[in-house]
Amino acid sequence: MPPTTPTLWAQSTKWVKAKILNTNACTVWGETLYDQVVGPQNLGRRVRVYAPVGTHETLLAYLVRRLLENGANSSFVNQIVDENISIDTLIRSPFDTIAEQGIHLHNALPLPRDLYGKGRLNSQGVDFSNETVLQQLQEQMNKAAAQDFHAASIVNGKARDVGEAQPIKNPADHGDVVGTVSFADAALAQEAVGAAVAAFPEWSATPAAERAACLRRFADLLEQHTPALMMLAVREAGKTLNNAIAEVREAVDFCRYYANEAEHTLPQDAKAVGAIVAISPWNFPLAIFTGEVVSALAAGNTVIAKPAEQTSLIAGYAVSLMHEAGIPTSALQLVLGAGDVGAALTNDARIGGVIFTGSTEVARLINKALAKRNDNPVLIAETGGQNAMIVDSTALAEQVCADVLNSAFDSAGQRCSALRILCVQEDVADRMLDMIKGAMDELVVGKPIQLTTDVGPVIDAEAQQNLLNHINKMKGVAKSYHEVKTAADVDSEKSTFVRPILFELNNLNELQREVFGPVLHVVRYRADELDSVIDQINSKGYALTHGVHSRIEGTVRHIRSRIEAGNVYVNRNIVGAVVGVQPFGGHGLSGTGPKAGGSFYLQKLTRAGEWVAPTLSQIGQADEAALKRLEALVHKLPFNAEEKKAAAAALGHARIRTLRRAETVLTGPTGERNSISWHAPKRVWIHGGSTVQAFAALTELAASGVQAVVEPDSPLASYTADLEGLLLVNGKPETVGISHVAALSPLDSARKQELAAHDGALIRVLPSENGLDILQVFEEISCSVNTTAAGGNASLMAVAD
């Protein structure tokens, strides 16, 4: 058989001596080369043409991608039609160019470690495709696993063993005892609070640069201890290897991000609030634990860290590294225990606030405890979500399939961001669901230490039983279901696995509450029912993550404008938010905000005059029609000359302060567009204050499109005729859907307890004696768009050599 040479290019075609050429003919650009090779009048060679064959739907993305590649400024195809480029330059070997110019970094293409700029180092990953790397990782993890792990509370730098040590068992294999833990009691919890309160003056006076340096040293230590931390994440929390390295990387990212925020973003007048209780969950036992702790420390607060009891070992390991990094043992206390210990901490009147990640029910209990106080402790709560994805008939089925499996079943569905509800347009539902079910059958549900495992166990027997109860109930209700098998080496009697399952529902009303595991619920919808589907999703009350799969930009815009979600993902999965790239958190029943890994988080953990907004790509636009109505009202209000000046100043301030229609584009990897915009809530209660103060608060709200609510005794209540649509008078503001209280006068504890007892989303009280800071009212909306879904990243075409 004669030799055959594959090539795409004219120069290599001229040089090679092979009798047969394999060439690529994609659409038109291969024809010129073909015409100069075939036939005795040319090179007289046979050509075997490689060309894409298939339907328009199948090939469109491939063709667009090739057009983008060959349309880039550096492409031969682009340059060959440029008469200003000589033939010698066109055919010059790139090796000759490198020999002459040397190897240097392209300014527009940063290395992975420099993805976020020189000021913040990207976290290190692990190349699981490299056998040498895998061998080294396995050896290091095995070495770490040989240790006898024991965790105890650490108060004032001393390990405090209280009571009998409890074994921590691997949820994938209960015969594997990972280590032991000694839990605290209420007395030790109170002692830890006292230690943190005593240490607050010294730590809060430590310069921000020194606090940031501690966080960066801790980040470096996390990377150095990656194998041991991965081992604990796998054995204690049931994480797969991919999830385990992602856990470490997110923790590292939190440290470096908040270190930068502490140095460069916190207002100069920001003062730390005191001792913060940080209560973190088991589903992200290192990442969220670290994020909560280091954010509070970076802002100058001392911390009492209370991790989930199921994952105490990895938390204890992390705290030891924090202390090694230079964070004083007095500034960071570790208290291990169950819910009773958490309750003892959050009910202690000496604390300055609580950071909590967990269930909506527990967040309510914490809010009620804090409401008993006459001061204003901080509460940041990140809770769950009934997260949905809407897929229309234009979506690429293969992409939807991959994103659905990743979003619903990765981490055994134990992410607050995980996909719970899939809404598929009925025109494509049969094909789409058949593909998803087939892909589900390929999932490996087994021991997470195996690299081939896709889905590991759920955390414990209680979680397993709750899921099985829901699954058994839904099997009697749903139209149909599809369930996955577990691996052969799984011992169901000595583990807590739950097999991934897909239910097709008759309607969304059949799903009443969040289901925290590998369970996906599917509904079909007609194209004309899209708005109804959005309304049903919103009616659940949650607002955490949402996915859209559509290649129609108008559809994407419409869904984005109507859906209630803190994080929106377009043509991609809905999990795996990256710190500073997709700041994470929701509103409604999904939390209080601000977003973790966002620009307002540290500011919430301080007392400052006004928050500092991030650099805006698109500035805010005030509601001018509303402001003109308020300008007219000034002449009717009983203001003296000085008060009229104050009112005019308030109007001017509101014009430039709003985040209405503002947007910030965030730095991230190519192939994505990540941005933050802001959504104004529907109503805010203005409580107390003088006429001037109330008018100023009303101005801030009206400029941002928020309706103010006042009680009948408010100085503004008699002007409702002039303020129709801008002002609502109601004796029970909490009953009309308020999200915040602008407390121009202090709310007493009895009134705050009434608000805390109200059903629905937590109502946030903003101390506003010195004026309402409108930035604290807005809900942050993160949007991540997969730009490659349209075929490629067109912006790279403009990148020159």
Residues with catalytic annotation? 382, 416
φ, ψ at 779 (rounded to 5°)? -90, 130
8 Å CB contact between 204 and 301: yes
* Edge-to-edge order in the sheet of strand 764-767: 727-729, 707-710, 683-687, 738-743, 764-767
Omega into 594 within 30° of 0, i.e. cis? yes
Cβ neighbors of 439 (< 8 A, separation 6 or more) are 401, 402, 405
Indicate the burial class of 218 (C-beta count within 10 angstroms; 0-12, 13-18, 19 or more): buried
8 Å CB contact between 210 and 325: no
Indicate the burial class of 95 (C-beta count within 10 angstroms; 0-12, 13-18, 19 or more): exposed
CA separation for the pair 530, 594 (Å, rounded): 30
β-sheet bridge partners, residue 727: 708
DSSP 445: B
What is the rounded end-to-end Cα distance, in angstroms, of the chain? 42
φ, ψ at 122 (rounded to 5°)? -75, 150
Vertex 680: Cα angle to 777 and 273 (nearest 5) = 15
SS3 125: coil
The H or E element spanning position 629 is: helix 624-634
Question: Which value, in Å, is the radius of gyration of the alpha carbons in the chain?
Answer: 29
In 354-449, which residue ranges form alpha helices assigned H by DSSP?
360-371, 397-409, 426-441
Instruction: Give 550-601 as a DSSP string.
Output: -S-HHHHHHHHHH---SEEEESS-S--PPTTTS-B--EETTB----BTSTTH
Cβ neighbors of 108 (< 8 A, separation 6 or more) are 799
